[in-house]
A and B are shown apart, each in its own frame.
Chain A
Amino acid sequence: MVIEKQDVVIVGAGAAGLMLAARLAEGGQSVTVLEAGPERKLNDLVSSQIWARKLKWSEPAVSESGDHKIGHAFNAGSGTGGSALHHYGVWLRMHEGDFSLNSNHGVGLDWPLDYAALAPHYDRVQSEVGLSGDSVQERWRPQGAPYPMPPLPLFTQSRLLAKGFEKTGRHTAPLPLAINSEPYQGRQSCQYDGWCDAGCPIGALGNPLVVWLPRALAAGAKLEHNARASRVIRSAKNTQLIESVEYLQDGERKTIQADRIIIAAFAVQSVRILLSSATQQHAAPGDHSDKLGRYLMTHPAATIFGLFAEETYPHQGVTAGQLLNHDDYDKKDAPGGFGSSQWMIGHAIKPHDLLGYGTNRPDITGAALEPWLKRASRHLGNMTLVCEDIALPDNRITLSEKVGPEGIAYAHAHHDLDATAAARWTQRMSEGADIMRAAGASEVWSGPRIGQHIMGGAVMGEDPAESVTDAFGRVHDTDNLYVAGPALFPSSGAVNPTFTISALASRQADHLLNQ
Chain B
Amino acid sequence: MLEVEGLTARYGSIAALRGAALSVGSGEVVGLIGPNGAGKTTLLSSIAGLLSPAEGRVTFEGKDITGRSPEQLLRSGVALVPEHRRIFADLTVEENLRIGGVTVPAAKRAELLDEMAERFVVLKEKWDVPAGYLSGGEAQQLAIGRALMSAPRLLMMDEPSLGLAPVLVDLVFELIGTLRDQGRTLLVVEQNAARMLEVSDRAYVLRSGEVVASGTGRELSQRDDLFDTFVGSVVAPDEGLPAAGSPVANGAGGGTA
| A and B from one complex | no
Q: Which B residues fall within an 8 A CB radius of A?
A: none
Q: Which A residues fall within an 8 A CB radius of B?
A: none
